[in-house]
């Protein structure tokens, strides 16, 4: 009897502490009890696959790790819970924004986005056509990761430097403050995404043919990939500009992308030079550098000059290549059959004899 | 003779060069004029997507996105993970296909849909439990099934997953708690079987798999009645009422022999006595009175 009670007590303590310590600091409701299983999923009424699994390791690798599940999923108050509502990224979470006494929220980002070309409403507050096409937070962002780096004795290295962080930890000893701060700041010192990932995020909409037709847009992603910049990024360069580098004015919030015909836009005809000649890019280049059409779309009706240039260039290439290939082929044929001729000359010698 | 051999070699060399010239012309064509075939294929997919109903569009999209992955380069690590449109949280891992299950061939990996409130839980179990575990019961007077793990890749009997022990180890020290064990994705599933002449065999063996595969291939050649006949035959051993949650999640005599299947003591206790049973009780008492009757709740 006592043995059984003792065993129960031990198991209860182990389980309690096991879960208590293992779940995230922010997982007050022990959501991972179920959400740690990769198979927690279903197909919804529209036939979409819904996966409810949370990869704890990856969740802990980004800035949201300090958030409690309930900070975003505010409507979940009990376990088991009802289907969760869509998360509103502009709501306030438990953290206090360090430069003020206000609670943290992404409201400021939403405000900037509302001024951009990606806002579903225009300057006058009127809804744009096909408003469902305009992106929400999740259309461009999935759960972010930290991309920390370190510089030690002049050498830049990806990841958290033990030497670097040891200096922080000599004063900031409690909890994970030093790690959080270090990863947050170093991630922000460079681009938070690899260029190809940014391009893929934009491509979700901008490479969609139906989307292009609805908004009368060119296939800017495909044409970008054909450029030198696009090819460098495809080869793994992180120093080459992606969409945001050219479409956001230097020093502006990355969410403020404006249409080409807006005078304050980074790609407005009089601003392109400044965009190309920023300190990090072609600072010493002539202003003429920006004189070319970056996204060349070969559409016969829209851009006839470019279209016929392409046709002419292809024709020239084809003519030169296939003319010389034919020449080589015929030459080889002659080597194979040196005496062959369609029109053989009559042999007059036999008559003479 | 030597002259003749030289001549033959020369002719072969010339033929090779002629072949190379033709191949080079063929090779260069798409580089000059674009990959026409690919563009056409994309255009036809787009057209199909545009012309069809929502369902057709979804199907086209599914085909296009099949096994789509997403790469994230952190500089010190590249995360390559499955891509699901509209998903915010990272997934991280791909799931190994279950080649050993005859049911998955038609019903897929996410088969549960009827019991709205618990279908996600049931699908979660389908990642490490073979369908037969809950859907085929031994007869009233028949001996209880034996349970073993089968390899998802081959369908063959395999040892208890090491991951179960690794999960346990992650609870031991503060340092190990920083590691992230993988729950439910063991590359293996539990399925019932029998012991015949001292050898264990699963209820569904390779012959059953061959039978189902043949049905899938031949079904278009069968008449509607024949199809119904075949479906009846394939499903004839499926129990009317599936196994209920509290048959396993109970302390006295759980239906699945957890300890024998490699679950460590703490985990067995968790599954049969504390957190999990506690949650089921919560469901049962305060939330969904029918939680313990899968299949009983309809959408």
CA distances from B35 to A100, B28, B29, B39 (A): 56, 11, 9, 6
The pair of three-digit structure tokens given for residue A58, joined into one six-digit string? 């990856």
Max Cα distance, chain B (Å):
99
Phi/psi for A349 (5° steps) reads -60, -35
**Chain A residues with CB-CB distance to B90 below 8 A:** 55, 58-59, 142-143, 145
- Is residue A186 a contact partner of residue A149, using CB atoms and an 8 Å limit? yes
Q: Which positions ≥6 away from A278 have C-beta within 8 Å?
A: A250
Whole-angstrom Cα distance, residue B79 to residue B92? 7
CB contact under 8 A, A14 and B171: yes
Q: CA of B171: which chain A residue's CA is closest?
A: A18
B71 and chain A: CB distance < 8 Å anywhere? Answer: yes
- The pLDDT score that the predictor gives to residue B259 is 94
Helix, coil or strand: residue B228:
helix
Candidate from A51, A87, A147 with C-beta closest to B74:
A147
Cα-based torsion angle of the residue sequence A62, A63, A64, A67 in order, rounded to the nearest 10 degrees: 130
CB contact under 8 A, A53 and B119: no
H helices of B69-158, in order, are 104-107, 119-125, 131-135
Q: What is the pLDDT along chain B (299 residues), one digit of tens a residue?
A: 889 999 999 999 999 999 999 999 998 887 777 654 455 555 555 555 555 677 776 766 666 666 778 899 998 899 999 888 888 999 988 888 899 999 999 999 899 988 877 889 999 999 999 999 999 999 888 889 999 999 999 999 999 999 898 888 877 766 656 567 788 889 999 999 999 889 999 999 888 999 999 999 998 899 999 999 999 999 999 998 899 888 999 888 899 999 999 999 988 988 887 667 777 766 665 444 344 445 444 43
Q: How many CB atoms lie within 10 A of CB A353?
A: 4
CA distances from B135 to A84, A250, B4, B113 (A): 30, 62, 77, 15
Hey, where are the domains in chain B? 2-50, 97-287
Whole-angstrom Cα distance, residue B172 to residue B184? 20
Rg of chain B in Å (alpha carbons): 27
Comparing CA positions, the residue from A37, A30, A70 lying closest to residue A54 is A37
Q: Which long-range contacts (CB under 8 A, 24 or more apart) does A275-281 make?
A: A275/A246, A275/A249, A275/A250, A276/A246, A278/A250, A281/A241, A281/A245
Helix, coil or strand: residue B171:
coil
CB contact under 8 A, B91 and A37: no
H helices of B173-250, in order, are 206-218, 224-234, 245-248
Q: Which H helix or E strand runs over B199?
A: strand B199-202
CB contact under 8 A, B287 and A80: yes
Burial of A313 (0-12, 13-18, 19+ CB in 10 A): exposed
Select the residue from B90, B118, B184, B289 to test the A interface by mutation, using most A Cβ atoms within 10 A: B90
B273 and chain A: CB distance < 8 Å anywhere? Answer: yes
Q: How many CB pairs under 8 A join A and B?
A: 176
Q: CA of B266: which chain A residue's CA is closest?
A: A11
**Chain A residues with CB-CB distance to B50 below 8 A:** 210
Low-confidence ranges of chain A (pLDDT < 50): 1, 5-25, 351-353
- The pTM of the full predicted model, rounded to 2 decimals, is 0.76
- The pLDDT score that the predictor gives to residue A1 is 45
CB contact under 8 A, A15 and B275: yes
Whole-angstrom Cα distance, residue B278 to residue A65? 27
Select the residue from A4, A7, A18, A159 to test the B interface by mutation, using most B Cβ atoms within 10 A: A18
CB contact under 8 A, A12 and B274: yes
Q: Which positions ≥6 away from A335 have C-beta within 8 Å?
A: B10, B14
B92 and chain A: CB distance < 8 Å anywhere? Answer: yes
Candidate from B74, B90, B266 with C-beta closest to A143:
B90
**Chain B residues with CB-CB distance to A58 below 8 A:** 79, 89-92
**Chain B residues with CB-CB distance to A47 below 8 A:** 55, 58
The pair of three-digit structure tokens given for residue A296, joined into one six-digit string? 């060349």
Whole-angstrom Cα distance, residue A18 to residue B267? 11
CB contact under 8 A, B170 and A22: yes
**Chain B residues with CB-CB distance to A143 below 8 A:** 88-90
Whole-angstrom Cα distance, residue B98 to residue B104? 7
Distance from CA of B226 to the nearest CA of A (A): 29
CB contact under 8 A, A143 and B93: no
For helices B36-51 and B54-65, the axis angle rounded to 10 degrees is 150
Whole-angstrom Cα distance, residue A158 to residue A151? 9
First-last CA distance in chain B: 88
CB contact under 8 A, A15 and B266: yes
- Is residue A275 a contact partner of residue A246, using CB atoms and an 8 Å limit? yes
The pair of three-digit structure tokens given for residue B159, joined into one six-digit string? 């040892």
CB contact under 8 A, B127 and A39: yes
Q: CA of B51: which chain A residue's CA is closest?
A: A210
CB contact under 8 A, A194 and B73: yes
Candidate from A57, A196, A318 with C-beta closest to B180:
A57
- Is residue B200 a contact partner of residue B148, using CB atoms and an 8 Å limit? yes
Rg of chain A in Å (alpha carbons): 31
- The pLDDT score that the predictor gives to residue A94 is 77
B126 and chain A: CB distance < 8 Å anywhere? Answer: yes
- The pLDDT score that the predictor gives to residue B153 is 92
**Chain A residues with CB-CB distance to B113 below 8 A:** 42-43
Whole-angstrom Cα distance, residue A10 to residue B214? 54
Q: CA of A160: which chain B residue's CA is closest?
A: B76
Distance from CA of A195 to the nearest CA of B (A): 9
- Strands B188-196 vs B199-202: parallel, antiparallel or unpaired: antiparallel
B25 and chain A: CB distance < 8 Å anywhere? Answer: yes
CB contact under 8 A, A329 and B18: yes
Hey, where are the domains in chain A? 1-78, 136-141+194-314, 146-191
- The pLDDT score that the predictor gives to residue A133 is 94
Candidate from A34, A54, A149 with C-beta closest to B89:
A54
- The pLDDT score that the predictor gives to residue A9 is 45
B49 and chain A: CB distance < 8 Å anywhere? Answer: yes
Distance from CA of A35 to the nearest CA of B (A): 9
B168 and chain A: CB distance < 8 Å anywhere? Answer: no
CB contact under 8 A, A39 and B126: yes
Cα-based torsion angle of the residue sequence B55, B61, B64, B66 in order, rounded to the nearest 10 degrees: -80
Phi/psi for B261 (5° steps) reads -85, 5
């Amino acid at each position: 009897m006592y043995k059984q009670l003792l065993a129960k007590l031990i198991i209860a303590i182990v389980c309690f502490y096991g879960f208590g310590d293992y779940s995230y600091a922010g997982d007050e409701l022990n959501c991972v009890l179920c959400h740690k299983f990769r198979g927690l999923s279903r197909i919804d009424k529209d036939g979409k696959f819904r996966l409810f699994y949370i990869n704890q390791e990856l969740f802990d690798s980004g800035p949201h790790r300090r958030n409690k599940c309930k900070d975003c999923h505010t409507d979940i108050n009990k376990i088991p819970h009802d289907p969760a509502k869509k998360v509103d990224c502009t709501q306030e979470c438990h953290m206090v924004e360090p430069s003020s006494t206000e609670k943290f929220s992404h409201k400021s980002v939403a405000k900037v986005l509302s001024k951009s070309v990606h806002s579903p409403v225009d300057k006058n507050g009127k809804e744009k056509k096909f408003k469902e096409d305009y992106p929400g937070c999740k259309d461009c962002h999935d759960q972010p990761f930290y991309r920390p780096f370190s510089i030690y004795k002049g050498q830049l290295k990806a990841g958290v430097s033990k030497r670097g962080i040891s200096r922080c930890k000599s004063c900031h000893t409690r909890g994970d403050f030093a790690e959080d701060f270090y990863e947050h700041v170093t991630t922000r010192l460079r681009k938070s995404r690899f260029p190809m990932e940014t391009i893929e995020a934009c491509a979700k909409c901008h490479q969609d043919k139906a989307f292009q037709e609805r908004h009368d847009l060119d296939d800017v992603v495909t044409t970008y990939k054909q450029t030198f910049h696009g090819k460098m990024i495809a080869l793994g360069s992180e120093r080459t500009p992606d969409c945001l580098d050219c479409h956001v004015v230097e020093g502006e919030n990355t969410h403020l992308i404006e249409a080409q015909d807006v005078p304050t836009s980074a790609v407005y005809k009089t601003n392109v030079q400044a965009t190309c000649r920023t300190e990090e890019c072609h600072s010493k280049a002539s202003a003429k550098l920006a004189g070319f059409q970056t996204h060349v779309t070969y559409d016969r009706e829209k851009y006839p000059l470019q279209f016929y240039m392409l046709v002419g260039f292809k024709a020239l290439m084809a003519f030169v290549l296939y003319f010389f290939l034919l020449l080589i082929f015929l030459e080889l044929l002659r080597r194979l059959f040196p005496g062959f001729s369609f029109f053989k000359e009559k042999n007059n010698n036999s008559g003479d004899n | 003779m030597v002259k003749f051999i030289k001549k033959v070699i020369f002719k072969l060399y010339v033929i090779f060069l002629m072949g190379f010239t033709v191949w080079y012309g063929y090779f260069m064509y798409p580089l000059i004029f674009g990959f026409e075939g690919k563009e056409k294929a994309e255009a036809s997919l787009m057209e199909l997507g545009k012309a069809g109903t929502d369902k057709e569009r979804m199907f086209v999209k599914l085909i296009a996105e099949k096994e789509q992955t997403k790469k994230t380069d952190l500089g010190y690590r590249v995360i390559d993970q499955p891509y699901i449109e509209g998903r915010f949280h990272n997934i991280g891992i791909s799931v190994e296909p279950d080649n050993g299950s005859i049911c998955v061939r038609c019903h897929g990996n996410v088969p549960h849909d009827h019991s709205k409130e618990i279908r996600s839980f049931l699908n979660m179990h389908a990642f490490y439990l073979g369908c037969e575990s809950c859907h085929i019961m031994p007869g009233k007077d028949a001996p209880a099934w034996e349970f073993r793990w089968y390899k998802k890749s081959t369908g063959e009997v395999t040892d208890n997953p090491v991951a179960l022990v690794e999960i346990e180890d992650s609870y031991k020290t503060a340092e190990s708690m920083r590691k992230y064990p993988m729950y439910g994705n063991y590359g293996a599933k539990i399925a019932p079987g029998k012991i015949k002449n001292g050898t264990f065999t699963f209820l569904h063996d390779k012959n059953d798999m061959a039978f189902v595969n043949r049905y899938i291939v031949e079904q278009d050649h069968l008449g509607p009645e024949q199809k119904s006949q075949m479906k009846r035959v394939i499903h004839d051993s499926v129990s009317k009422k599936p196994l209920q949650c509290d048959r396993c999640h109970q302390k006295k005599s759980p239906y699945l022999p957890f300890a024998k299947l490699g679950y460590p003591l703490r985990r067995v206790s968790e599954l049969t006595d504390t957190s999990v049973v506690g949650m089921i009780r919560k469901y049962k008492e305060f939330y969904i009175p029918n939680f313990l009757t899968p299949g009983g709740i309809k959408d």
